[in-house]
Amino acid sequence: MSIDVNSWAAKYKQLTNADETIQCMGKYYTCTFMFDMGARKVIVEMHDGKVKAINTDPAPMDSYDFALRASPETWREFAQPMPKPMYHGIFSASFQRDLRLEGNLLVLMQNLRNFTVQFELLRQSGVPV
C-alpha cells in the first residue's frame, strides 16, 4: 500500500524545509525538478532552499528543469531507510540501475550539493508508489 501522494508531498516539504544541512546553504537553491516514478509523477519547485510547491498532478505542458525517471521498484528502493548498494544515490542508480537523468543537467549540477541531500530525505518520507 503506497502513501497518498498529497500526504507524501506535505511530508517531503516539511522534511526539506526543516533540514539543517540544506537550510544552512539554502540561499539560491532555486530550481524545479520532476520525480518520474512511472505510475506517479510529481514536480517539486524549490525557492531559496524551501519547497515552494509540489505539483502532484502534472499536466502535459507543466515545465521543469530536469527529471529523474525510474521504475516504481527503483523508487521504493531509494526510500528504504538503509538502501541497498546501487540504490543509494542518483549517480549509483544511473550508472548501475534504471535511473535516467534528463532535461537540463546543468541546473542539477549547479544545485548538486543541496539536491543530493534532499534526495536522501526520501529515506524518511517514503515514496508515493
Partner 1 sequence: MIKHSPVTGRYVTIEVDGNEYKVFYLHNGTGQPLICQHTAGAHNHQWRGLLEDEEITRDYNVIAYDLPRHGKSDPPHNKEWWKDEYRLTADHYVNFIVTLCDALELKDPIFMGSSFGGNVALQLALRRPDRFKAVIPVEAADYAPGFFLDWWRHPHANAAQVCASGVWDLMAPQSPDLDRWLTWHYYTQGSEAFKGDLYFYSVDHDLRDELVNIDGRRCPVIMMTGTYDYLTPPEATENTARQIKGGVYIEMEDIGHFPMSENHELFRVYLKEALRIIRERKG
Residues that bind partner 1 (CB under 8 A): 82-83, 85-86, 88-92, 95-96, 105-106, 109-110, 112-113, 115-116, 120
Q: Which three cell numbers stand for residue 96?
A: 548501475
- Comparing CB distances to partner 1, the nearer of 62 and 102 is 102
- Comparing CB distances to partner 1, the nearer of 14 and 110 is 110
- Comparing CB distances to partner 1, the nearer of 60 and 85 is 85
- Residue 112, classed as helix, strand or coil, is helix
Instruction: Say if residue 63 is exposed, middle or buried (CB neighbours under 10 Å; 0-12, 13-18, 19+).
Output: exposed
The distance of closest approach from Cβ of residue 124 to partner 1 in the complex, given in angstroms and rounded to an integer, is 13
Beta-sheet pairing, 100-103 with 31-36? unpaired
Backbone φ and ψ for 126, nearest 5 degrees, come out as 75, -175
The distance of closest approach from Cβ of residue 113 to partner 1 in the complex, given in angstroms and rounded to an integer, is 4
